[in-house]
Structure 1
Amino acid sequence: MTDRKSLIRNIAEEPWQQFPAHYGGALSKALVHPTTTGSQQIDYRISTYAPMAYVERHHHKVQEQVYHILEGEGLMEIDGEKRVVRRNDVIFIAPGTWHGIANTGLGQLTFIVVTTPVSDD
């Protein structure tokens, strides 16, 4: 999608997908993304990870990210330090920070991820 216009979408309209470097049932819906809405400055996703699912440790050159945990618990690694994250935790990731998240809990780990500007890495 390349048109940029305001819109309303229902979450059910966007299919679940497993992005590269996401493993074991780490699924996301790209709700606001260049490919789904034509956005250029924001990538807004809801993700749900099955137990043992994870995203590889990685970093972004210029992008800032916010993770907002909605349900479940897991481990978030930030620059080599691992911490338990659970419902209502909000995590800010500065550019250049190595990070990853894994579902180490007993049920689904569901969270929002906001990236700005849109990541190209």
Structure 2
Amino acid sequence: MNQKPALRLLLEKMANMPWKEYPGHFGGALSKELAGPGTTGSSRVDFRISRYAPAAYVEEHVHKVQEQVYYVLEGEGILTLDDTKNLMRPHDYVYVPPGVRHSFTNTGTQGLVFLVITTPASDDEETR
């Protein structure tokens, strides 16, 4: 029997969370898991802050069941949704439903900083 981990209340300072370059991310495309499976035990949500150095990117990919919201705080970059390129700047946001191919590249001269909310936390339908 698969037992889900207990959920944990989390009140934390962002500075205490480590930067990580996740698989499929390149050139200094870093993220901090703020609330998700590794920090709270949640299987329902993965909340991250990301900072991409100039020219850093996440390769094109598609989610089977995950929904995502990206919210840009600083910088600018190109978010490709299927075959459409979209310039994203501060306070722009997007909802990406499952099945949409997407990638994000910092095309600016400064860091691209954005929030990412993903639900469920895993794209594996069997773990939902």
User: Which category of TM-score, normalised to the shorter sequence, fits these structures?
Assistant: over 0.9
What residue number does 2:84 align with?
A: 81
State TM-score, norm by structure 2: 0.90
State TM-score, norm by structure 1: 0.95
What residue number does 2:70 align with?
A: 67
Matched, 1:92 2:95: yes
Identify unmatched segments of 5+ residues in structure 1: none
Moved over 4 A (4+): none
* Aligned-partner residue type, residue 94 of structure 1: P
Contact persistence 2:73–2:91 (CA under 8 A)? yes
Matched, 1:5 2:8: yes
Q: CA deviation at 1:35?
A: 1.2
Larger radius of gyration: 2
Contact persistence 2:43–2:122 (CA under 8 A)? no
What residue number does 2:113 align with?
A: 110
Cα RMSD over matched residues? 1.0
Q: % of aligned pairs identical?
A: 52
Counting only pairs closer than 5 Å after superposition, residues 2-81 of structure 1 correspond to structure 2 as 2-81=5-84
Identify unmatched segments of 5+ residues in structure 2: none
Q: CA deviation at 1:37?
A: 1.5
* Aligned-partner residue type, residue 63 of structure 1: Q
Q: In structure 2, do the counterparts of structure 1 residues 120 and 62 end up closer, same or farther at CA, with 3 Å as the change threshold?
A: closer
How many corresponding residue pairs?
Answer: 120
